[in-house]
Amino acid sequence: MQPLLSPQFHASRSLQRILPRLQATFAAQIAADPSGWQQFTRRLEAHFPALFRLYFDLYSTRYDFFYHLEDLLSGLARAWFERPTDLRVLDDAREAQPLWFQSHHMLGGVIYVDLFAGNLEGVRQKIPYFQELGLTYLHLMPFFRSPQGENDGGYAVSSYREVDPRLGTMVQLAQLARDLRAAGISLVVDLVFNHTSNEHIWAQKARAGDPDFMEMYFIFPDRTLPDQYERTLREIFPDEHPGAFSPVVVRQGAEETNAWVWTTFHAYQWDLNYANPAVFNRMAQEMLFLANQGVEVIRLDAVAFIWKQLGTPCENLPQAHQLIRAFNRVARIAAPALLFKSEAIVHPDEVVKYIDPAECQLSYNPLLMALLWNSLATRKVRLLSHALSTRFKIHPQTAWVNYVRCHDDIGWTFSDEDAAFLGVRGDDHRRFLNEFYRGRFPGSFARGLPFQENPKTGDCRISGSCASLAGLEKALTEEGPAEVELAIRRILLIHGITLLVGGIPLIYLGDEIATLNDYTYRDDPAKARDSRWVHRPRADWQKYARRCDPLTVEGQVYQGLQTLIALRKQNQVFSGGELSVISTQNDHLLAFERMHAGQRAVVLANFSEAGQPLPPGFFTRLNLTPEHIAFQMGRFDASDMQSLGPLSLIVFIPGR
């Protein structure tokens, strides 16, 4: 009779077979670093069963499965032996305190290296500024070698191991990571793992007809399969090319033939084929290489797209989750300090599926972002309140990354079902929001631009800087001081929510000094077709110099933000993510309570430009008195406590 063999049995038998072979391969390293080897095998034994399960589910149908499994493990051992001592110390510290990222001290910032500071050395020189602002997390937008001219803002990577020579070197990056860490700041970097640029050596070899490299991408001899796939695909960058495939010329022997390659985004961004375990192994190597430079958080770019299957939308497939979970185990074994942040700008039901200690510990919160802008436009908080009560809670060992703007456009990714529940038709409402943020709707304060308008579907997303979308550009150029004041309040109001709501607040640097839209991208042929460049300007250090002058707009926004940041950092209640929404019986007023370590805070925000009443007895029921006010922006008469002034934000912290 055949014995019944459990997956654990297969896992442990595989490990028993592979370990001695690793010991032989790495004999010299083991002799030089026996305690390192011990640490490695301890973690390997703890995480291999889970890694094996995932890898087996993804790749066991391959005849060469075991070859790839062994190759993966030797890659892990190699990366571990290369891991610098200071990072191994960090590994231990993070394992001892795995929820460090939930602290109320956390504050994120994101910059483009060249636009903010010229190059990596320039970024290093700005560390005092990051400290002044209070950052503990710095995301550098992709700085890797990438094609000259158009490269999707660096998201077309030609080498994961080389810095764009104009920005510096990998040695400088590692030094920057150390300097940042010494200043209490964790380095966050993209792993653009859905695609490489068409100039990556893998893509070049694929074009040259090397079968090992052709298998790393999706290359088709004709339109048969692309046409079949496209029946169920969404168009992501319809401005650039219809559908998901681009023509490519491939060498076959002595001949050049026309073929099609999968390009979800731009024609120069080739999607990687993760159905091939060699792709998984190589990307695991690239990830560990970055971790060994001192990167503490990897932003997993465009996670939704990494697995393809005919007859499906090829977004958010179960295998995409398995892949990330397998990468997560890879990190636990060979670079345990590393965290993952998911970039899934998709339906909220799908966003949360990436969030798990075993998958991505951190995730962008695109729903909160979109609904903050929705609330400013509608002056109503119903969708926002509803989303906070039903969709904000995530696994207690994870955290949202809350933001109001980033380098990308705003997509209205709220759920149609939630909208319908509140009597709103999703598509009509999205059309309204697009009109509003393009400044084409009566009562609109915004100066946004359309992004990837799709004439076939009527879809559109919005580009624009925080300040311009919040009304500052219009107020400064066409209106007056009263409107400027309102715009500043809008900026502070939505930033205030991201700072206090629970999770890691992330500031798109430039927003802290109310940077406006920059229309000069239209003169640059490498940028003109992509309106996202309107909110990716070069940092204006003269403008930054005004940040401490309260008579300037920059000063008012910067100082206002600093007050809110201090409020967060001084009160432990803003740690973690526990939140409950409070009913205000007023569509314009948002209220929520935060709880942590026995403390509570209540946050109240008025999203309309008119004063708004609170129901009688509101504060009595919450046991709040004027003495509990810890922060106040806008009018709020503490003597009667009955209404909130226009665009005001009030925070109560009893028992401070």
Structure tokens at 571: 């009160």
Assigned token pair, 352: 């949360």
Q: Greatest CA span in the chain, whole angstroms?
A: 87
Residues 183-202: x where in contact with ligand GLC by CB under 6 A, - otherwise, as a string = ---------x----------
CA distance linking residue 238 with residue 52, whole number of Å: 39
Q: What's the CA gap between 623 and 535, in Å, rounded? A: 43
Looking at the Cβ atoms of 153 and 502, the one nearer to ligand GLC is 153
Q: Which of residues 538-597 bind ligand GLC (CB under 6 A)?
A: none
Tell me if 140 contacts ligand GLC by CB under 6 A: no
Nearer to ligand GLC, 152 or 473 (CB): 152
CA distance 238 to 242: 5
- Residues of this chain, 487-516, that bind ligand GLC according to CB under 6 A: none
Q: Please choose, out of 116-124, 131-139, 270-278, 402-410, the segment that lies near ligand GLC by the rule CB under 6 A.
A: 402-410
What is the four-CA torsion angle of 324, 326, 330, 336, rounded to 10 degrees?
60
Q: Which residues contact 276 (CB under 8 A, 6 or more apart)?
A: 215, 216
Stretch that binds ligand GLC, among 11-19, 403-411, 430-438, 534-542 (CB under 6 A): 403-411
Tokens of 419: 């909208």
Provide the minimum distance between the beta carbon of 453 and ligand GLC in the complex, in angstroms, as a whole number. 13
CB of residue 181 to ligand GLC, shortest distance in Å:
25
Return the residue of 130, 193, 260, 265 that touches ligand GLC, per CB under 6 A: 265
343 catalytically annotated: yes
* Using rule CB under 6 A, residue 262 touches ligand GLC: no
Contact call for residues 160 and 290 (beta carbons, < 8 A) = yes
At its nearest, how many Å lie between ligand GLC and the CB of residue 411?
Answer: 5
CB of 346 to ligand GLC, least distance (A): 6
The β-bridge relationship of strands 108-111 and 504-508 is parallel
Tell me whether residue 459 or residue 518 sits nearer to ligand GLC (CB atom). 459
How far apart are CB 451 and ligand GLC at their closest, in Å?
7
Q: Indicate the DSSP class of residue 227.
A: H
User: Would you call 179 a catalytic residue per the annotation?
Assistant: no
Q: Which of 190, 235, 271, 301 is catalytic?
A: 301
Does 301 engage in binding with ligand GLC (CB under 6 A)?
A: yes
Q: How far is the CB of 344 from ligand GLC (least distance, A)?
A: 7
Comparison of 382 and 535: residue with beta carbon closer to ligand GLC? 535
Distance CA 402, CA 624 (A): 27
Q: Is position 367 an interface residue for ligand GLC (rule: CB under 6 A)? A: no
Of 62 and 241, CB closest to ligand GLC = 241
236 touches ligand GLC by CB under 6 A: yes
Residues in region 150-169 near ligand GLC by CB under 6 A? 152-153, 155
- Kindly tell me which of 214 and 236 has the beta carbon lying closer to ligand GLC: 236
| Structure letter (DSSP) for residue 102 | G
C-alpha 288/C-alpha 275 separation (Å) is 20
Q: Do the Cβ atoms of 295 and 83 come closer than 8 Å?
A: no
Return the number of the residue (134 or 153) whose C-beta is nearest ligand GLC: 153
Q: How many CA atoms lie within 13 A of 245 on its CB side?
A: 23
* Residues 310-349 close enough to bind ligand GLC by CB under 6 A: 343, 345
Sign of torsion over alpha carbons 149, 153, 157, 162 = positive
Question: Can you list the alpha helix ranges (DSSP code H) found in 101-166?
Answer: 113-117, 120-125, 127-133
Size of the site for ligand GLC (CB under 6 A): 14
Q: Is 375 helix (H, G, I), strand (E, B) or coil?
A: helix
Of 152, 235, 343, 356, which residue is the catalytic one? 343
Half-sphere exposure for 43 (CA within 13 Å, toward CB): 23
Whole-number minimum distance, CB 11 to ligand GLC, in Å? 34
Nearer to ligand GLC, 407 or 527 (CB): 407
Residues 407-426 that bind ligand GLC (CB under 6 A): 407-409, 411
Closest C-alpha among 436, 424, 542, 556 to residue 490 = 556
Yes or no: say if 593 and 600 are a contact pair by the CB < 8 Å rule. Answer: yes
Chain centroid, CA 319 distance in Å: 20
> Rounded CA gap, 572 and 49, in Å?
38
Q: How many CB atoms lie within 10 A of CB 31?
A: 9
Q: Report how far apart, in Å, the C-alpha atoms of 258 and of each of 171, 219, 223, 225, 248 are.
A: 40, 10, 11, 15, 6
Nearest residue to ligand GLC on Cβ basis: 155
Closest to ligand GLC by CB, 13 or 529: 529
| Residue placing its CB nearer to ligand GLC in the complex, 153 or 496 | 153
Please give the DSSP secondary-structure letter assigned to residue 239.
T
459 binds ligand GLC (CB under 6 A): no
Burial 102-134 (b: 16+ CB within 10 A, else e): bbbebbbbbbbbbbbbbbbeebeebbebbeebb
Smallest separation, CB 360 to ligand GLC (Å):
14
Min dist. Cβ of residue 301 to ligand GLC (A): 5
Contact between 302 and ligand GLC by CB under 6 A: the answer reads: yes
Residues identified as active-site: 301, 343
- Rule CB under 6 A: which residues touch ligand GLC? 152-153, 155, 192, 236, 265, 301-302, 343, 345, 407-409, 411
